[in-house]
């Protein structure tokens, strides 16, 4: 069922963030910063945009999501659990040796995961293949690919971008989670990526830049790109790393660190 209420979507996104904190705290391992920054994006996709059915997770005509920045799996798992693909109690088993919810998504083990991922830079190539198949087989499904801004330092991303443009994959939407931080610090300091919008435009994309933590802006952007014909789309989503947890926001050190018990309690209280 498509949820159209902005307030309802905001509440779901907050619940997803609680799931992220629960997972990483339970495992004492994981990547909370980028998972929190993209929670709104995934919430809008799974609850407002994508043609999917948790009771039939492998339906041929379903829309696809490639989480190219696979280390942010806690957000995807929390969304899938909230959507009903599996019981939310599984989140507490995140990264445990006997759990299907490992640090990077495994499409062979987790219902609702459309592509295994983790090696940065590869997801867009996978998404291209899916989008091209949809066209060749007249399936009609759309493909969404979520990239990290640090990830697009990988050269394969731009090779894939040329392919997206060459084949006029207007059923493909790339989202860049532009939180301006990666594991070693700011994007600018590690490897400056000036004018991300201009880069994608030069590679033949329709480009929108929005506040990626604004639910209504996300809904409007995803609706807009569905009307674009003859070229792929890229949404540059300006987000805040660690969004929703005060002591994690805009802090590179929370890229891959688990909260202790006191921090866990504070985070869960803030996300009520």
pLDDT tens for 5-58 read: 999 999 999 999 999 999 999 999 999 999 999 999 999 999 999 999 999 999
> Is the per-residue pLDDT at 244 higher than 90?
yes
pLDDT of residue 192: 85
pLDDT digits (tens, 9 = 90+) for 65-107: 999 999 999 999 999 999 999 999 999 999 999 999 999 999 9
3-state secondary structure of 177: strand
pLDDT of residue 185: 86
- Provide, rounded to the nearest whole percent, the portion of the chain with pLDDT above 70: 100
The topology under which CATH files domain 6-270 is Rossmann fold (3.40.50)
3-state secondary structure of 255: coil
Spell out the domain ranges in the chain: 6-270
> Is the per-residue pLDDT at 1 higher than 90?
no
pLDDT grade, residue 183 (50/70/90)?
Answer: confident
């Amino acid at each position: 069922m498509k949820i159209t209420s902005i307030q309802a979507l905001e509440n779901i996104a907050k619940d997803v963030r609680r799931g992220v904190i629960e997972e990483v705290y339970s495992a004492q391992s994981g990547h909370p910063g980028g998972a929190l920054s993209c929670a709104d994006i995934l919430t809008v996709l799974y609850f407002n945009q994508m043609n999917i059915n948790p009771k039939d997770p492998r339906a041929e005509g379903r829309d696809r999501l490639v989480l190219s920045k696979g280390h942010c799996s806690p957000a995807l798992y929390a969304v899938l659990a909230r959507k009903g693909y599996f019981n939310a109690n599984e989140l507490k088993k995140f990264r445990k040796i006997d759990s299907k919810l490992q640090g990077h998504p495994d499409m062979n083990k987790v219902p609702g995961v459309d592509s295994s991922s983790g090696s940065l830079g590869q997801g867009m190539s996978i998404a291209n293949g899916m989008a091209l198949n949809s066209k060749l087989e007249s399936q009609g499904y759309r493909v969404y690919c979520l990239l990290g801004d640090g990830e697009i330092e990988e050269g394969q991303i731009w090779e894939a971008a040329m392919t997206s443009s060459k084949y006029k994959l207007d059923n493909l939407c790339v989202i860049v989670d532009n939180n301006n931080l990666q594991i070693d610090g700011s994007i600018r300091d590690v490897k400056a990526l000036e004018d991300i919008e201009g880069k994608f435009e030069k590679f033949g994309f329709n480009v929108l830049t929005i506040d990626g933590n604004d639910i209504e802006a996300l809904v409007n952007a995803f609706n807009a790109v569905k009307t674009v014909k003859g070229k792929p789309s890229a949404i540059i989503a300006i987000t805040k790393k660690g969004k929703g947890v005060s002591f994690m926001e805009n802090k590179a050190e929370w890229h891959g660190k688990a909260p202790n018990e006191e921090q866990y309690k504070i985070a869960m209280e803030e996300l009520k």
